[in-house]
Amino acid sequence: MTKRQVGYHWHLRRLMAERGIFATTELVPLLADRGVSLSREQVYRLVVKVPERLNLTALAALCDILDCSPAELVEPYSGAPATAKGSSAGSAPPTRPRRARVTPAPPK
């Protein structure tokens, strides 16, 4: 039996932009008005990263601020079993890009 990969897409940044909220610091007072006190750093991480855990009160506050449902904010997915990125049986491992070397321009 193979395990299915499950996860979710986090759409907070997109929903904020659609509502005209572009700075993460704009969310701090809006959340505080709804009884959720998070620091600027916590709100920044909430916006730019996919959270592993989220308080339901914070989720409800975000939905109220953005006038959206939890389903619009969190989109679950499930798929095939997880495999190494870009590899399949018999294929070569992915290559990493080379670091660029910046050298001064030759004299004219």
d(CA 34, CA 60): 9
d(CA 85, CA 63): 33
| 75 DSSP 8-state letter | E
- Structural domain boundaries, residue 52: 13-79
Return the top range by mean pLDDT from 25-34, 77-86, 96-105. 25-34
Give Dmax (Cα) for the chain.
68
Task: Report if residue 66 sits inside a domain.
Answer: yes
Task: Report if residue 70 sits inside a domain.
Answer: yes
Task: Give yes or no for a contact between 10 and 50, defined as CB atoms under 8 angstroms apart.
Answer: yes
pTM over 0.85: no
Per the prediction, the chain carries an average pLDDT of 86
d(CA 26, CA 18): 14
Task: Report if residue 87 sits inside a domain.
Answer: no
**Which residues make Cβ contacts (< 8 Å) with residue 81, sequence separation at least 6?**
2, 3, 4, 5
Reduced to 3 states, what is the DSSP secondary structure of residue 55? coil
Q: How many domains does the chain have?
A: 1
Task: Report if residue 3 sits inside a domain.
Answer: no
Q: What pLDDT, on a 0 to 100 scale, did the predictor assign at position 88?
A: 46
Task: Report if residue 89 sits inside a domain.
Answer: no
**Residue 65: its H or E element:** helix 56-66
Q: CATH no. for residue 42?
A: 1.10.260
Task: Report if residue 90 sits inside a domain.
Answer: no
Q: What pLDDT, on a 0 to 100 scale, did the predictor assign at position 94?
A: 64
